[in-house]
Structure 1
């Protein structure tokens, strides 16, 4: 049984067990890793070393960053199903009667999501460099991957919100609408430059756009001031979502 520390402190033992439990889900891991890699092999091979006129990066590099972002998002959103399942068996009710704070609950889920996302990002980049021979220096790969990894936080929080509010029968449709909508509108599947102009305006409202953008800036793309702007936007999303989740958890705990 996991010991929970007093409210306001992070129970490291619980975080460790939660992360370990998530990483044991072999089917989810294979699906999360396979989809972006297959899409990378299909779309990345089609463009080769052609240069993207918008970012001045190889199209292959741009596609790699899109698929790394896509896989990281998928890993983060997988938390929604875990939380819905926990609610259905009453595990969340058990947690609410412990001293576990809303912030500690939230952080434990985010850490598990980020561990999952890190593995997806690494697998995607390794396939791009080893199999497709994507050309980018190690420093820029590291900066791009680290930026995408940090940018996963808001998506893990969105998954927690879905898990807290969605009923089991509606979790799958809600997940698909949110995930697919953000993937398309954020430019992770198709470059925004080939989409209608109104979609470009909508994209700037999506955290997925900024997740893709922070990866491009880390890779040395031109046409922007750097990683600061996307980092601030994603941090803003994380703060707002985190406050809502903590409030919801405290309210449920008070009812319990």
Structure 2
């Protein structure tokens, strides 16, 4: 929560020192990008813990109890979704009270709602990483994947400033479309159809891959 909130203030203040200062639109765009950044990190960090549960034998222990496996997965998804809310709200409050972003009440609600629903993409990606990676690799992978999604998805630098090749890469990443949906919501518009289609496609794709990996993964028993 603190890093994207601090980045919101930092980037806004950096541009405030340039001729003409930072415009309200730029301040809002920075805030939306940092909200997306915080939510991506929270979603990945919350769900990749599956690798630790698998290594400790906890998942195997659950499998021999009466608890349905669908309930186990549902709880993991619910935790991931819930933990994306705090960074969204904290960065929104930072934008409102520290960087001067002014939106109508409905636009604030729409912005947080759109980004919260869109974070399901990164919860699904986190589940995939959690099942696919070993315990020792999972933590580092979350940092690397989160950085790549933020840097190449235009969360740190606007995609318009990218060379044409990198712009094409950005358009293939869920983080780019996630931010695009947020920018539209902040402007009081519906998310672009392309963003909705892309995010809607990524969720089942990541979820299906996670299910395939989960079926092929052996579950070690609890030590001792």
Please confirm whether the aligned pair reaches a TM-score higher than 0.5, indicating the same fold: yes
Interval containing the TM-score (normalised by the shorter chain): 0.7 to 0.9
Q: How does 1:223-234 map to 2 (within 5 A)?
A: 226-234=191-199
**Are the aligned partners of 2:47 and 2:80 in contact in 1 as well (CA < 8 Å)?**
no
Aligned length: 217
- The answer for the alignment partner of 2:204 in structure 1 is 239
| Contact 1:106/1:245 (8 A) holds in 2 | no
Q: Does 1:47 align with 2:12?
A: no
Q: Partner of 1:154 in structure 2?
A: 121
Counterpart contact for 2:59–2:219, Cα < 8 Å: no
State the TM-score, normalizing by the size of structure 1.
0.76
Residue 204 of structure 1: CA displacement?
0.8
TM-score when normalising by structure 2: 0.87
Aligned-residue offset at 1:214 = 0.6
Residue matched to 1:74: 41
| The one of 128, 137, 148 aligned to 2:95 | 128
Residue 192 of structure 1 aligns with which residue? 159
Cα RMSD after superposing both structures: 2.4
Residue 166 of structure 1 is matched in structure 2 by 133
3-state SS of 1:117 partner: helix
* Aligned: 1:113 with 2:80: yes
Equivalent residue number for residue 63 of structure 1: 30
Q: Could you say what secondary structure the match of 2:49 adopts?
A: helix
Q: Call closer, same or farther: CA 1:104–1:252 in 2, change over 3 Å.
A: farther
Runs of at least 5 residues in structure 1 that lack an aligned partner in the other structure: 1-32, 52-56
The answer to whether the 8 A contact 1:79-1:160 is kept is no
Greater relative contact order, per chain length (Cα 8 Å cut-off, separation 6+): 2
Q: Aligned residue for 1:142?
A: 109
1:161·1:245 contact (CA, 8 Å) conserved in 2? yes
1:172 alignment partner, SS class: helix
- In the aligned structure 2, how far is the partner of 1:125 from the partner of 1:254? 40
Q: Which residue of 2 aligns with 1:93?
A: 60
- Deviation of residue 72 (structure 1)? 0.4
The Cα offsets for residues 106-154 of structure 1, whole Å up to 9 and x where unpaired, read as: 3321211111111110111011101222122222222122111111111
Counterpart check, 1:207 vs 2:174: yes
